[in-house]
Amino acid sequence: MARRIAYTGAPVLTLDQVAFQCRAEPEDLQPELINQIIIPGVTAQGESRTGAAIREALYEEDWPAHYPSGHSLDVGQAVAVESIMMLGAAGAPVEFTGSVELIQSGKESYVVFPGGRPEGHLRIRYRAGVDLEAHPGVLSWLLMAAETAFTQRGLLIVGQTLTEIPSGFVDYLLADITVPPRF
């Protein structure tokens, strides 16, 4: 299971975009609500529904020894492998300096070791985030979800969190980046 270490990219929506979607002026909205709850909330919901990184972030995942070269990463929309550490049973982690390739398919990304996969457990650190120009439906989904959250804020915002936006006919906009289920 991949762990998000930190966001490295800017939020995927701006107050101005949400205001335009809501047909309002930015100053007429509640900027703190939009920037601190709604934008992060709909981004997290989109990432949860798809298994893909929407806002660019740094991720880290451990591969057991039985994962072969060419195995898929847990988070979709990977853009670069930052580092690979070989985790020895008794010693300190050692950085892998061999050749590594990131193969990107439409929904998943795969790590390939052309010279052969290093032995043992690996810790792979990578950056992932969706290209909204290549997947404009994702931006549309985010804007519709933000508008729904703002216009129905009395029902959907509880304290400092955003409850689940109801799924519906617009979820197909996320289909291009949704990682297939794994068992």
3-class SS letters over 13-61: CCHHHHHHHCCCCHHHCCHHHHHHHHHHHHHHHHHHHHCECCCCEEEEE
Asked whether the predicted pLDDT for residue 90 surpasses 80, the reply is no
Tell me what pLDDT residue 92 has: 82
Asked whether the predicted pLDDT for residue 133 surpasses 90, the reply is yes
- Non-local (6+) Cβ contacts of 87 within 8 A are 62, 93, 120, 121, 122, 123
Q: pLDDT > 70: what percent of the chain?
A: 86
8 A C-beta contact, residue 17 and residue 143? yes
Asked whether the predicted pLDDT for residue 152 surpasses 90, the reply is no
Work out the average pLDDT over 56-60: 97
Tell me what pLDDT residue 4 has: 95
Confidence band for 172, pLDDT divided at 50, 70 and 90 = low
Per the prediction, the chain carries an average pLDDT of 87
- For the segment 5-45, what is each residue's pLDDT rounded down to a tens digit? 999 999 999 999 999 998 888 777 888 889 998 999 999 99
- Tell me the one-letter amino acid at 27: E
